[in-house]
Copies of this chain bind each other. A is one copy, B any other.
Amino acid sequence: MGKGFPEVGAEAFAAGHPLRRCRGFIFDVDGVLCRGDEAIPGSPEAIDRLRRGGKKVAFISNNSTKSQEEYVAKFIKLGIPVTADDLVLSTYATARHVSKEKPGARVYMIGAPGLRKELQLAGLQLVDDPLEAEYVVTGSPFDGTGRIREDNVERITGALRALYHRNARFIATNPDRVFPAEEGVIPGTGAMIGCLSYMIDRSPDAVIGKPSEHIVRIALDRLELQPEDCVIVGDMDTDMLAGEKLGMTRVFVRSGAMTEEKLQSLGITPDFAFDAVIDMLTAEGD
């Protein structure tokens, strides 16, 4: 941060920059581009510069409550112009995963309206009777204050019945354990993975969000690029792990929730580390 742009015309990276050869950049959102609704300084400029330099850019998030259309508004506020096509949320990625496995499948869901919307947009058939379900898709039944949503108070039991009595396939949007909120942490979607897995004594058939590679693979499909031509940029172990599984170049930024020391203590060594995304364009990393 605070470093000037090198004068390189249309190129995003200066000659000799190790990321210059990379064609696609997949960014995690919170802790990388923003903190809450506030842009991390330089991140809108970094995205703009990559795009002007002919790089393909996509944004991925484990957010399991919003549709892609809803999430666009967040980017507009940050000053990063996007369309829904630039985003891959775990809501969308989950819907796409299920519809690819079984187009038009009957799905019983736990979660927010944004997840419901993406499942519908993917042509899946949402059912309210668990005994009709072929799939259970679980996002989070909790609202932003940690209350169970009114339309979800029967859905843990519904999901259980679909799994227990119908052996429905079990798909979770993401494995996050908890999220920070004003008055303390609130449960992540992982709460439902733990809850349902314990009751039926089996793990989900797929978990779509990071550190799973599913969500990243969908972003790569969108970019029409191979993983080895792409960079994943994140602030968490989960970002680095997902990128590693696919053989992508891994860039860690220190602007988010995890320190580099913590990352190292988990045995993860990214290919590059920067203070913030803007520095990726100006420095060589360390």
A194 contacts B by Cβ under 8 Å: yes
Chain A 94-134 interface mask (CB, 8 Å, partner B; 1/0): 00000000000000000000000000000000000011000
Interface pair A147/B142, CB less than 8 Å apart:
no
A201 contacts B by Cβ under 8 Å: yes
A50 contacts B by Cβ under 8 Å: no
A190 contacts B by Cβ under 8 Å: yes
Interface pair B198/A185, CB less than 8 Å apart:
no
Interface pair A185/B161, CB less than 8 Å apart:
yes
Chain A residues touching B, majority SS? helix
User: Could you show 22 A-B contacts with beta carbons less than 8 Å apart?
Assistant: A145-B154, A146-B154, A146-B157, A146-B158, A147-B154, A147-B157, A148-B156, A153-B153, A157-B186, A160-B178, A160-B184, A160-B191, A161-B185, A164-B178, A177-B200, A178-B199, A187-B195, A188-B199, A190-B198, A194-B198, A195-B195, A195-B198
Among B153, B164, B186, B191, the residue within 8 A (CB) of A148 is B153
How far apart are A149's CB and chain B's nearest CB, in angstroms?
Answer: 9
A165 contacts B by Cβ under 8 Å: yes
Counting contact residues on chain A (CB < 8 A from B), the size range is: 35 or more
Residues in B neighbouring A160, C-beta threshold 8 A: 146, 178, 184-187, 191
Complex Cα distance, B192 from A190, in Å, reads: 12
Complex Cα distance, B196 from A165, in Å, reads: 24
Nearest-neighbor residue (CB-CB) of A178 within chain B: B199
Complex Cα distance, B157 from A186, in Å, reads: 6
Interface pair B156/A185, CB less than 8 Å apart:
no
Residues in B neighbouring A161, C-beta threshold 8 A: 183-185
